[in-house]
Amino acid sequence: MVAAKFETRAIILRTAAYGEADRVVTMLGASMGRASALARGARKSAKRFAGGLGMAQEGRAILRERPGAELLVLEEFDVEQVHEGLAGDLGKTAHAAYALELCERLCPPRQPEEPVLAWLSEFLMLLERGRARAERLRVFEIGLLRRLGLGPVLDRCAVCSRGDLGTGNVRWHPDGGGVVCPDCLHRGDIMSGSTRRALVDLADMSLADAESMALDRETNAGCRHALLGLLRSHVSGPLRSLEFIEKMGAG
């Protein structure tokens, strides 16, 4: 039986040392979704993977399936975007690490996620060019959730569907799918009307538009809290890169 070889555009989400000479590279690929691959000799020979297989690198991967094995083999990785500009700035490094971790933790294995790959690619490109901004991160978070079919209900009550939520407070119920009106839920996080309306705007915004949009401190904090609650409801265990962002006060 000949193992299937294929080529796909991919972004490196994470790498880990494996044995003395190899690396295991976790990637998000256009045709394969999230998958891990063994890069033989990646730690020993600089020739084999000339780009160094760094986090956030984007390029064309040539991969081989191994019959009966979950781990693919990475034969080649032709780097097209190194995203060098992310490395020199701690805030940018933190935002990139967080975006990569979210994709790694939220994307199901081996399920093509082309819109997610495009979203991550654009986010990294804009982050590299500009500053590490909370607004871009909020749009990325909610856009990622939506592209994975996990977007929250924001424009009506997730329980009774009433749409006249206006400017008043609502309850935020991540496990229940989004916002809930005060008649349906009397417990849980209170979300202000301004936070809810900001989330409605963020959910429809392109990453390019986020570059010129500004959230005041309080609204950003409300959106951040709500989106983190939702993200955490979909991952098990802590988000490692989040601590880095919190320490820097960069999110």
The site string for Zn ion over 171-210 (x = CB under 5 A, - otherwise) reads ----------x--x--------------------------
The site string for Zn ion over 71-110 (x = CB under 5 A, - otherwise) reads ----------------------------------------
**Of 144 and 159, CB closest to Zn ion:** 159
Helix (H, G, I), strand (E, B) or coil at 237: coil
State the number of binding residues for Zn ion (CB under 5 A): 5
Q: Please state, as a whole number, how many other Cβ atoms lie within 10 Å of the Cβ of residue 168.
A: 11
What is the smallest separation between the CB atom of 109 and Zn ion, expressed in angstroms?
36
**Of 157 and 215, CB closest to Zn ion:** 157
Q: Quick one: angle between helices 134-147 and 90-106, nearest 10?
A: 10
**Of 63 and 181, CB closest to Zn ion:** 181
Backbone angles phi, psi at 215, to 5 degrees: -105, 140
**Of 111 and 161, CB closest to Zn ion:** 161
d(CA 184, CA 229): 20
Out of 16, 17, 71, 160, the residue judged to bind Zn ion by CB under 5 A: 160
Q: Please state, as a whole number, how many other Cβ atoms lie within 10 Å of the Cβ of residue 203.
A: 17
- 170 sits near Zn ion (criterion: CB under 5 A): no
- Buried-state track 92-107, b at ≥16 Cβ within 10 A, e below 16: bbbbbbbbbbbbbbbb
